[in-house]
Amino acid sequence: MINSKLKRTIYESKKARDILDEEFVEFGPIKRNINEFFNIYNTKFYNILKIVHKFFAEQSLQYVIDYINPKKLTEMGLQEEIERTQIEIDSIEKFHPIFQNNTVLNMYGTENYYYIQSGKRRKIIGEELIQKVKDSLRKTNKSKKNWSINVPSATINGIPRGPRIEKEEDINISTYTTNTGKVLPFNTYTG
């Protein structure tokens, strides 16, 4: 057995507060800041299990209410740009090599009339609409023979087909609709 003597010093209460350290900071948690956390995280990044990375990501996203990944925002912006560009491309007026746009063709020996728009043939359905097309082209005073071009059925069939003119609103559809057969999206700017 080892004998040891303990020395005890007695202080007054006032003096004791000045001399003795009452706070045990050595036992308290070390306060760290965010930069230290990420420095440690980045240093140990490849040693951390994937499940821990996933846990950190999921826990972090709970604190962000309306978080959208910036890559997703970029992707959405690019997708909108692609759609707008495609609409602009589809809205370019095309031309037939022989027949000008805004002319009317009549199939020989029939009452079938076709309006040429963006290089496509658009069949006009009904006598009333034929007259409306004639009025829109300002050819009201001309006879059918003088305001339309008579062509054989093979010529008509050789021209790409466009949307039919079945009602008055169909006469002045957009080039986009003529080229694609789709309605132009109302929220799209086409320059």
Residue 190 has pLDDT above 50, yes or no: no
For residue 16, pLDDT beyond 80: no
**How confident is the model over 72-89, as pLDDT tens digits?**
899 999 999 999 999 999
Listed range (10-19, 54-63, 176-185) with the worst mean pLDDT: 10-19
Percent of the chain residues past pLDDT 70, beyond the cut: 86
Torsion of CA 178, 182, 184, 186, to 10 degrees: 160
What is 104-180's CATH superfamily? Type VII secretion system EccB, repeat 1 domain (3.30.2390.20)
C-alpha distance across the termini of the chain, in Å: 99
pLDDT in tens, 125-136: 988 888 888 888
pLDDT at 24: 66
> Any idea where the domains of the chain sit in the sequence?
104-180
Mean pLDDT of all residues in the chain?
A: 84
Per-residue pLDDT, 56: 85
Return the closest-CA partner of residue 146 out of 94, 92, 106: 106
In this predicted structure, the answer to whether residue 28 has a pLDDT above a threshold of 80 is no
pTM for this prediction: 0.60
Mean pLDDT highest for which of 4-8, 126-130, 142-146?
126-130
Q: State whether residue 165 is helix, strand or coil.
A: strand
* Residue of 147, 123, 126, 146 whose CA lies nearest to 136: 147
